[in-house]
Structure formats: C-alpha cells, structure tokens
A and B are shown apart, each in its own frame.
Chain A
Amino acid sequence: MSNAVKKHHEPLIHITKRDDMIWWKAWLIRLAAVLLGLLVVGVISVLLTKGNFFETYSIMLRGAFGRLGSGSTRLLWKFLLETALLLCLSLALTPAFKMKFWNCGAEGQALIGGLAAAIVMMKLGDKLPYWVVILLIFAAGILAGAVWGIVPALFKAQYKTNETLFTLMMNYIAMQLVAYYAYVNAVPAGSGQIQSIANGHLPVIGGQPYLLTILLALILTGVMLVYLKYSKHGYEISVVGESQNTARYIGINVKKVIIRTMMISGALCGLAGCLMVAGIDHSVNPDTVGGLGFTAIMVAWLGQLNPLIIVLMSGLIVFLESGAAKVADTFYLNGSYADIVAGIVILFVVGCEFFIRYSIKFRHKEGKA
C-alpha cells in the first residue's frame, strides 16, 4: 500500500508492569486461580463420569482426608506424610532457586541419599549398635545427596555449565545406580527387587510411624525460614540470585556461595531420601522417590520460594493428587486422572502470576468509530 501518511496504530491491549500489589489482592488472585482450576477440573470430571458436579469435590475431600467423623485417621496420616515428604524436597530446592540455580535434580539427589541409607541398613544394620546405625544412615544419606548436588555446582561455578540439564541427567544416573544395586543385592536373589530390609528402621515416635518424618519436615520449615531470611548465608544467596556482578562488587565469593548452597540443597534432598528409605519403605528401588522430586520443583516455585507458602502448596498438590485418585477410583477412571487434575491446577496457578506482576490496559475508545 502506498499510503504516504502512516496512521498511528495503537494496540488494543497494553501491558505494563505493576508496582508491588497489596499482599491480600495478590492472594485473592492466586485463590481465584486455584478455584478456577478446580472448576475446570470439576467440569471435566462431570463430562467424564456423568456424575454430580458437587459430589466430585466431596469425593476429593474424602479421598484426601478420610470420611469426617468416621474415626479413622489413616488417610489423614497419609496426607500429612506425603505433604511432609514433598515439603522436605521443595524446601531443599528453595535456596538453590533463590540463587537462580535451577536444580532439577531433587529426584536423583533424594534417590542417591536413599540408596546410601539402604546400603548402610543392609551392610551394617546387624553389625553395629542401633543408634550408631541410625546416625550412619543419616550421615551417609546426607553426604550422598550433597555430593550429587555439588557436582553440577562445581561445573556451574567454574565453567557456567548449564545446571538445568546437568541436574536433570544426574537423576537418571542415580536411578540406574539404584536399579543396579537392587539387582545385585536382590532379596530374594534374582528377583531384581529388595523386599524389605530387616535392620536400621528409623525409630517410631508415639506409635505413629509417620510422625518422625512430619516433625522433621516442620522443623526444617522453621530452620529454612530463618536461614533464608535472617542469616548471612541467606543474604548472600539472595544477592547472588539478583545479580552476580553486584555480589562480586560487594565482596561475596560467588563460586563459594553457589557450591555451598547446592551442597545444602543436595544434602536436604538426601535427607528426604533417608526418610523415605529408612523411615517408610525399608527398601529402595528406582521408583522410591516416584517423581516427587519433579513435583517439588513446581511446588517450590508456586510457593514463591517462601517456606510458609510452600507448606500450603505442598498440601494443595497432595490434596489434588490423592483427592483426584479417589474420584478416579470411584468412577472407574484410569489412575492418571490425578496427574491431569494436578497439571491443570498448576498451570492455572503458574499463569495467574502474570496478573499479579502486570496490569492490562485496554485502548481508550476514540471519538469516532
């Protein structure tokens, strides 16, 4: 077109960055996103099951927490346990993410920690006094997890090797090592699986086998909150995350911070692995962590890298997964329905951050049409 005068074109929608939103408004948006996600889930469920819209939600609640007033606390304990494990892993990732180090290797770090714990249980469980074994289990698991975290950190610090991909690959190395160990030490031999290790079970507190893990997760939440917010390390982590140049300028040893933080991140994942193997499963296989390490990445991010919000998010995800599993069970749907439900709600929450950080302005209507 040979239009000499170029018309000024104003786009219909204009996006600008928002100043910090008041916290309750931001939370209303997040809540709305979760509800909207649940609404979509409900509609899909009704379409699939031809069931009642509201019944779906009540089944979800029952599946996650157990029937109200039935006196059975089994499901509630299970809910708390799964939340605690997811919480442990998400908290472990938080310092690394705060440093903008994308540790996608929680799965492998936890698994290798669990493997170390299993080795101690099998090889030393009956040779040393009980408490020594327990201490060794924790030491070995934490150490193994830390090593799995330090390796990518060393290369990131020295050569800027892409850590997302490095840690992702490390997951599979850990899985195959576990598969190898399980074949070699299979009980019964040749089955490729370790049935149950007799010695070195973590102590049971108050008659509740899951209580120890839940308490440890709560303690970890408090420690992580203080560590990130009030310690010198926490400050260094956030400066490195914001700008490495600034960090160098004010005299922070960036390499040291990266390696130290990843050591902590890996060590805590290793601890979670110990809890899974020595505290709950009393066995190890490549599926012990069961994808929780990947879920933890999403939870840590959805939780704004704030330990208190991460607690909420862990609970939400576990609720969705176990609730949806119950819905699937009730209506004879495939169990993967739970993954779809969790996926939909997470995508909604991830998307809603946009409306918190940016505001949308529509084009002002001009006088003429």
Chain B
Amino acid sequence: MIIAFIQRAILLGIPLLYGSTGEIVTEKSGHLNLGIPGVMYVGGISGVTGAFLYENACGNNIENMNPFLAIMIPLLASILGSMLMGLIYSFLTVTLRANQNVTGLALTTFGIGIGNFFGGSLIKLVDSEMPSIILTKTSDFYSKTLPFADNLGWFGEIFLSYEFLTYMAIAIALIVSFVLNRTRIGLNLRAVGENPATADAAGINVTRYKYVATCIGSAIAGLGGLQYVMVYTDGVWSNDAFGDRGWLAIALVIFALWKPTVAIFGSFLFGALCNAHNYINGLGVATQELFKMLPYAVTIIVLIITSMRKKREHQPPEHLGLPYFREER
C-alpha cells in the first residue's frame, strides 16, 4: 500500500515536474509565463494528434507500427506544438513588450481552447461512445518499463518501475539545473533575468536568450501534457481532464525556490499531497475536498516564509515580469 502510494505520487508529480522545470527556465530569463497551463494542454493535444495520425496511417494495427516512430512522432509533435505557443508568448512579450500577465492568461485561455477543441473534434471523428480518444496502442509503446524491475522487490517497484518519460523528466530537471548553475550559458541566462540592462552591457544578446529560454521552457512544459495522456491515463484523452495541473506546476516553481533539483522532490511531494485523500482511511467526500487544498496552502506558506527570510538565493529573478527596453533606462 505504501509502495502503491509512492508510485502514484511520483506518477502524478511528473507532469508537474515537466511544467515547473519549463517554467523555471522561462522565469530565469525574467518572464513569468502564466500561459503554462495552456502550453501543457497544447503539448498534450499535439502529441495526441500525432499519435492519432500515425495509428491511422498504420491502419490501427499495432503490427504495422514501428516502435521508434510510434514514440518519436507524438514526442516531436508535442514539442513542436508547445514551442509554437512559447514563440507566440515571446514574440508578444519580448518583441512587442506586452504585459506578461495578460499575455500569459490569454495564452492559457487560447491553449486550453485549442486542446479541448481539437480533442473534441478528434472524438467526433472516431465516433466513439465515450467522450474521449483512446490511443492504447501508442500508449503501450510509452509504457514500456524496465524488464527486470519486477524482480527486485520493493526497491525495483519504487525506483525502477516507471516509463521512460518519468526518467526523462528527472534527467531534464538535472540537466537544466546543471546548465543554469555550472555553465556560461546558464550564468548569462540568470544575468538576463536578474538585470537585463547589465547583461546587455556585458554583450549578452538579451532578446535571443529570452526567446530561446521561453521556447525551450514551453517545450519542456508541453511534455508534461504528453506524459499525462500517454502514461498517466494510458492513452486516453478526455477534454478538461488535465484540469488545473498547469497552475500547480507554477505553484511548484515557487515551492522549489526556482531550483529544478528541489522541484524533483517537490513534484513527488505535490503528487503525494494531491493524492493523500485517497489513502487516508475514513475521510468523507467533503473532507477530501479540503485535502485537495493542501498543495496550494503549502505553496502559500513557502511563499510567505521565503519572502520573510529574504535570503538572496531564494528570491525570484529580480526582473521577473518586467519588460526590457534598451533605450529606456
């Protein structure tokens, strides 16, 4: 039971980890992308569309499907779709210097709309009884786990029993953490987010860094949507099922104090908090609703404590949310 709880928590946490790793990359460039919930929807539906087209092209027969293509097509579609969203966001906020909060929220409306619209249209195409698209064949390829995990007892079940997208999320978080803290590119990116004017004076191409960080961040976040559809729900897309996870991912960024490594454990904790109500005996339905508040309440507490302690390395990037115009100093 404990093992099942941990597994579930990790599975639930991974979309949040993708979302928040992506958002951390974006925020390090000084851009608060509130469009992440929309981006994650688009990432999910792009992957679903890719998988749908490929399954149809193979005549819906798993024999004809090439495992490599079955994984790569949805993956690339997802990355492409969410990068496009990132491009819209960065064009508006970097080049046109639009207000980031408003652009982000509009992008969320737009992205969730796109997700549900294409989801709904695909559902109509297959004419299924249920209001969902079922892509079990593609999902099968995504849910391949390590063959020897089952033989290793509890250790295997807790650490080795996951799909590759899970390990990829952790790997991406570690890589992002390394790049941010140990490389010149990361240093430059942080400089752009802390003080773009100084970075500009030091010869860093501020605009390029902001664009690239936002687009890569969106691509990473979009994978969270893909993981949710392909692994968590076993290839079933239903409209609005992804819910408010995008906002939780943004909450996780604060919780993790803008550190991807902390976000890894934070995402497991959030996954556990989201799921705790299912594992505590004797909770009424009503009390369960109160328990669902936990991740948000914990985030608020962390937000308050970090702002009270005012430790420099725990603060958001200095120029987060502010536009940069070179000639306006």
Contacts and interface: CB of A to CB of B under 8 A. Distances in A.
A177 B310 CA distance: 31
Contacts of A336: 112-117, 120, 239
Interface stretch (A77-85, A270-278, A347-355): A347-355
A165 interface: yes
B92 A350 contact: yes
Secondary structure dominating the interface of B? helix
Interface in A274-318: 294-295, 297-298, 301-302
Contacts of B124: 332, 334
Contacts of A337: 113, 117
B303 A339 contact: no
B293 A344 contact: no
Interface residues of A, number: 51
Interface stretch (A62-70, A179-187, A250-258): A179-187
Interface residues of B, number: 58
A334 B106 contact: no
Interface in B237-254: 239, 244, 247, 250-251, 254
Interface string A333-369: 1111111101110110011011001100000000000
Contacts of B289: 176, 179-180, 183
A309 to B, nearest CB: 14
B110 A340 contact: yes
A7 interface: no
Nearest to A302: B102
A162 interface: yes
Interface string B44-71: 0000000000000000000000000000
A166 B34 CA distance: 13
A159 to B, nearest CB: 4
Contacts of A332: 124
A347 B121 CA distance: 24
B318 to A, nearest CB: 12
Interface in B310-329: 310, 316, 321, 325, 327-328
Contact of A351 (B98, B297, B321, B325): B98
Contacts of B98: 350-351, 353-354
Nearest to B285: A183
Contact of A334 (B34, B105, B117, B285): B117
Interface string B14-52: 000000000000000000101000000000000000000
A298 B106 contact: yes
B290 interface: yes
Contact of B250 (A17, A168, A346, A350): A168
Nearest to B244: A172
A351 B92 contact: yes
Interface in B88-125: 88, 91-92, 95-99, 101-103, 105-117, 119-121, 124
- Max chain B C-beta neighbours (<10 A), residue from A102, A184, A350: A350
Contacts of A130: none
B227 interface: no
B82 to A, nearest CB: 15
Contact of B106 (A176, A346, A357): A346
A16 B307 CA distance: 37
Interface in B262-293: 284-287, 289-290, 292-293
A170 interface: yes
B295 to A, nearest CB: 8
B247 A347 contact: no
Please list the 5 inter-chain residue pairs (A to B) with the smallest Cβ-Cβ separation, ordered nearest first: A343-B110, A339-B113, A334-B120, A183-B286, A336-B116
Interface of A: 15-17, 102, 104, 155, 159-162, 164-166, 168-170, 172-173, 176-177, 179-180, 183-184, 192, 294-295, 297-298, 301-302, 332-340, 342-344, 346-347, 350-351, 353-354, 357-358
28 contacts: A102-B101, A159-B310, A162-B307, A165-B250, A165-B254, A166-B303, A169-B251, A172-B247, A173-B300, A176-B292, A294-B105, A298-B106, A301-B101, A335-B116, A336-B117, A336-B120, A339-B109, A339-B112, A342-B109, A343-B110, A346-B102, A347-B107, A350-B92, A350-B96, A350-B102, A350-B103, A354-B95, A354-B97
Given A340-B114, A343-B107, 20 more contacts: A16-B327, A161-B303, A164-B32, A164-B321, A172-B293, A180-B287, A180-B290, A294-B105, A298-B106, A332-B124, A334-B116, A336-B112, A336-B117, A340-B110, A342-B113, A343-B113, A344-B110, A347-B92, A347-B110, A354-B98
